Amino acid sequence: MANITTWLIIGFTLIVIGMLVIFSGTIYSSIQQNITQKFEVGGIIMIGPIPIIFGNSWKAINIAIILAIVLMILAIALIIINRTFLPKIPS
């Protein structure tokens, strides 16, 4: 079983990869020459397993809703796994 250092390294790596994806997407969209292109923007703010969804078109909002449902299921599954498999600390 992995120790806490391994999980910290995995978490930090995922955060850095996410930042690189956002940065590269921003650079890619700014390089495009078509200024008249319509942008559809949507996003999710997760506070625990509760999502706050926003967007400027129904297509982007629908994609964000699907992503929010997936993230909520993942968060609940991780909570259940955490309670099931971690050793109990006597009080």
State percent of the chain over pLDDT 90.
8
The pLDDT-based confidence of 91 (bands split at 50, 70, 90) is low
Binning pLDDT at 50, 70 and 90, where does residue 37 land?
A: low
pLDDT at site 7:
83
pLDDT value at residue 8: 87
* Residue 17 pLDDT grade (very low, low, confident, very high; cuts 50, 70, 90): very high
Q: Which two tokens stand for residue 20?
A: 């690189």
Q: Where are the domains of the chain?
A: 1-37, 39-91
Query: How remote is the C-alpha of 90 from its chain's centroid?
Result: 34
Greater confidence (29 vs 37) lies with: 29
8 A C-beta contact, residue 64 and residue 53? yes
pTM equals: 0.53
Taking the C-alpha atoms of residue 36 and residue 45, their distance in angstroms, rounded to an integer, is 29
Q: What is the pLDDT of residues 20-34, one digit of tens each?
A: 998 888 777 777 755
